């Protein structure tokens, strides 16, 4: 290998096409080093990107991004792509304020031809690109890179079914690392494993085919006859035919870490104008022993020590470390206690066991945890069937992912008034950016019948609410943000009464209704206001739906109201309150949440500063609202 770093001199993706095989190997080593150096300091998705280094380099070596289009599914496997498409310096600011996004964004680079944050988008979007290319006769290849379990998404399967109806020129790269975030589940995953076991058959078949064709005079006819018989029989004995039955030529499985082999195959593929599936085998965490051993833990990681692999406090630019247990951990612990008490309680997860705090549930109650893979709609429907059969399903899913299943919550849970409890993790802003901010869902849920929405301030209240929702016996949502669920100093959660808020602090001048964890911030703001002669009431709403209308009307008649939430201000708690009040009272409301625009990625502290959801700014805003001098 050369001593001259290659990454420093790659200015465009086209430069990679000029590199020799030894240089491509050197580039792979440099990319791995860069991934580890950056992600250990900023946090991010590590294991999936370590696994896709050689595949990405081979794709950029074989395809021409000036005419070809590469779409990634899911976006968290595209860090290498970012590094090699002109964003090497920007990548050092991964997921930081005004820095590099953790997912693909069309606004970030011309090479991000389609945004990618959630799973299950590349095949269908790629078919859209292919249809446009065919209609416009613009040329170029369309490549969809599907990995980390995204093939099991309903949208991916719908797209797979529609490829031959849309185009005769499409390349699907199946990045098969046997995992999504956790190990892949389901029949499709087992099917792909059978394909891998059939690799020896494929190699033997190719050698025999070459020998038969060489037989003088009859070789070609004999080969054709054998081929016809084989095509009729191989569906019975050989895995891999499902793609061919869908009209797609199957190639593979290929070693996803063999750069020369990958480049040769992909260069040949680029010349083939037909629907293709290229099955590539990769290892999640490749090249970093800690990630190879614990790929689930290193899927999405905070800052860590490169030598030991252990988590470290982030640098000052990445925000503070949450104190105490997280809401995700609190949910898992509470659910374990519930399961010990009630045999009818079960849990359903959509490929997010670790992320939603269910690892201990999986260990202690493996027969009562159902992981359906990255298929939120199916998770909701399955839970509805469980509830209709007498079980008590609890379904933890990220708030932003749950948006995909809204129709199923309405049609299959709410309309039938079934007792399904949805626990929406990451309900608030997160460092991953707009595809992952859980700040829009209240605007959806408020329209649905029979549905209650509760939001706890800490882990103790979270468990109280979980119990209450199960006792209530109807559809319910429990929302909570990423981060600490430790007790809020000075806050004691009183008895939980259905539809009733809790008043924490009494004051005659203004009432601050703070949803969930924002209660801690509201208490601080109230203290600051007291220093300016303003005595504030502080309310923990507990229930977004049903809202405590009695308390709301009583307070609105006496004082102005402020609503504080880690959610879009339009469509959130403040909007619910305004709709519940007479018009003359609603004018004395100040709503403070996120604006109705795209909220960028970055640290939560940085995003709060940018949009004024900080202690100092809220104090100033409330004093201005009350016509007081700050």
Average per-residue pLDDT in the chain?
87
Q: Based on C-alpha coordinates, what's the Rg of the chain?
A: 27
The arithmetic mean of pLDDT across residues 56-69, rounded, is 95
Residue 63: helix, strand or coil by DSSP?
Answer: coil
Distance, in Å, from the CA atom of 517 to the CA atom of 456, rounded to the nearest integer, reads: 7
Report which of 417, 296, 407 is spatially closest to residue 362, judged by C-alpha positions.
Answer: 296
CA distances from 617 to 509, 524, 525, 535, 565 (A): 19, 12, 9, 17, 14
Token pair for 401: 């992912």
Q: Is 192 helix (H, G, I), strand (E, B) or coil?
A: helix
**What would the mean pLDDT of 536-555 be, rounded to a whole number?**
97
C-alpha–C-alpha distance, residues 515 and 520, integer Å: 10
**Which two three-digit tokens encode residue 280?**
């590539």
Provide the annotated active-site residues. Answer: 284, 376, 404
- Is residue 207's pLDDT more than 80? no
pLDDT of 191 reads 52
Q: Which of residues 254 and 218 earns the better pLDDT score?
A: 254
Question: In the predicted model, what is the mean pLDDT of residues 150-163?
Answer: 87
pLDDT-based confidence at 182, cuts 50/70/90? very low
% the chain with pLDDT above 90: 65
**Residue 152 scores a pLDDT above 60:** yes
List, in order, residues 6 or more apart from 346 with CB less than 8 Å away: 368, 369, 370, 386, 391, 392, 393, 394
Q: Higher pLDDT residue, 191 or 494?
A: 494
Residue 586 confidence (pLDDT) above 50: yes
pTM surpassing 0.75? Answer: yes
Q: Which residues pair with 476 in a beta bridge?
A: 421, 452
Band (pLDDT 50/70/90 cuts) for residue 240 is: low
Percent of the chain with pLDDT strictly greater than 70? 87
* Residue-level pLDDT at 222: 57
What pLDDT is attached to residue 389?
A: 96
Under the banding of pLDDT at 50, 70 and 90, the label for residue 548 is: very high
* pLDDT of 196: 44
- The region of weakest confidence among 220-229, 535-544, 615-624 is 220-229
Res. 155: pLDDT tops 90: no
pLDDT of residue 362 exceeding 60, the answer is yes
pLDDT number for residue 229:
44
Of 307, 615, 252, the residue nearest 623 (C-alpha): 615
**Amino acid 321: pLDDT:** 40
Is residue 179 predicted with pLDDT exceeding 70? no
Considering only CA atoms, which of 112, 37, 5 is closest in space to residue 69? 112
pLDDT of 238 reads: 43
455 vs 8, more confident = 455
Across residues 582-596, what is the average pLDDT? Answer: 87
Band the pLDDT of 149: cuts 50, 70, 90.
Answer: confident
Q: In this model, does residue 568 exceed pLDDT 50? A: yes
pLDDT tens track for 405-424: 999 999 999 999 999 999 99
pLDDT of residue 385: 96
Span 277-298, pLDDT tens digits: 999 999 988 988 888 888 877 8
Handedness of CA 277, 60, 272, 213 (dihedral sign): negative
Interval 579-608 mean pLDDT? 90
Span of 177-181, 259-263, 510-514, 541-545 with lowest mean pLDDT = 177-181
Of residues 397 and 190, which shows the higher confidence score? 397
Average pLDDT over residues 591-606: 94
């Amino acid at each position: 290998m050369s001593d001259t770093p290659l990454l420093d001199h790659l200015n465009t993706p086209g430069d990679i096409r000029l590199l020799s095989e030894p240089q491509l190997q050197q580039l792979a080593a440099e990319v791995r080093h860069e991934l580890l150096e950056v992600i250990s300091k900023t946090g991010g998705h590590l294991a999936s990107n370590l696994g896709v280094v050689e595949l990405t380099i081979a794709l950029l070596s074989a395809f021409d991004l000036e005419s070809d289009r590469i779409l990634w599914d899911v976006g968290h496997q595209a860090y290498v792509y970012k590094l090699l498409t002109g964003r090497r310096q920007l990548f050092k600011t991964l997921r930081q304020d005004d820095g590099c996004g953790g997912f693909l964004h069309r606004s970030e680079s011309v090479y991000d031809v389609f945004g990618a944050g959630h799973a299950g988008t590349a095949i269908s979007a790629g078919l859209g690109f292919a249809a446009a290319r065919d209609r416009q006769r613009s040329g170029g290849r369309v490549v969809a890179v599907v990995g980390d379990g995204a093939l099991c998404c309903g949208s991916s399967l719908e797209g797979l079914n529609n490829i031959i109806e849309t185009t005769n020129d499409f390349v699907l790269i199946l990045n098969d690392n046997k995992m999504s975030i956790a190990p892949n589940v389901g029949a499709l995953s087992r099917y792909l494993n059978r394909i891998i076991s059939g690799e020896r058959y494929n190699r033997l078949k190719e050698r025999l085919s070459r020998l038969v064709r060489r037989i003088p005079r009859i070789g070609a006819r004999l080969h054709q006859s054998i081929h016809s018989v084989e095509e009729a029989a191989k569906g019975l004995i050989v895995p891999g035919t499902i793609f061919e039955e869908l009209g797609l030529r199957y190639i593979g499985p290929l070693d996803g870490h063999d750069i020369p082999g990958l480049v040769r195959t992909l260069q040949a593929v680029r010349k083939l104008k037909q629907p293709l599936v290229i099955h590539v085998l990769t290892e999640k965490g490749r090249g970093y022993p800690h990630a190879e051993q614990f790929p689930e833990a290193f899927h999405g990681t905070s800052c860590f020590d490169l030598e030991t692999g252990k988590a470290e406090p982030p640098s000052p630019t990445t925000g503070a470390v949450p104190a105490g247990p997280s809401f995700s951990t609190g949910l898992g612990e509470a659910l374990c206690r519930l399961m010990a008490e009630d045999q009818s309680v079960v849990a359903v997860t959509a490929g997010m066991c670790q992320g939603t705090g269910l690892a201990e549930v999986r260990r202690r109650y493996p027969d009562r945890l159902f992981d359906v893979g990255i298929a939120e709609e199916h998770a909701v429907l399955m839970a509805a069937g469980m509830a209709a059969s007498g079980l008590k399903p609890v379904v933890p899913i990220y708030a932003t992912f749950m948006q995909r299943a809204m129709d199923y919550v309405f049609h299959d849970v709410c309309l039938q008034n079934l007792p399904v409890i949805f626990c929406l993790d990451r309900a608030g802003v997160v460092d991953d950016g707009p595809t992952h901010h859980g700040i829009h869902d209240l605007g959806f849920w408020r329209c649905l019948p029979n549905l209650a929405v509760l939001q706890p301030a800490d882990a103790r209240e979270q468990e109280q609410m979980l119990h209450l929702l199960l006792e209530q016996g109807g559809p319910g949502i429990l929302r909570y943000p990423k981060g600490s669920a430790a007790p809020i100093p000075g806050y004691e959660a009183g008895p939980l009464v259905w539809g009733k808020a809790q008043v924490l602090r009494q004051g005659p001048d203004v009432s601050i209704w703070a949803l969930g964890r924002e209660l801690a911030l509201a208490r601080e703001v109230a203290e600051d206001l007291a220093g300016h002669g303003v005595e504030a009431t502080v309310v923990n709403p507990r229930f977004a739906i049903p809202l405590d209308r009695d308390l709301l009307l009583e307070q609105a008649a006496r004082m102005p109201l402020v609503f504080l939430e880690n959610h879009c201000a339009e469509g959130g708690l403040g909007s619910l309150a305004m709709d519940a009040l007479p018009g003359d009272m609603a004018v004395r409301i100040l709503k403070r949440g996120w604006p109705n625009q795209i909220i960028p990625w970055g640290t939560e502290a940085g995003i709060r500063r940018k949009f004024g959801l900080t202690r100092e700014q809220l104090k100033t805003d409330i004093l201005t609202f009350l016509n007081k001098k700050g």
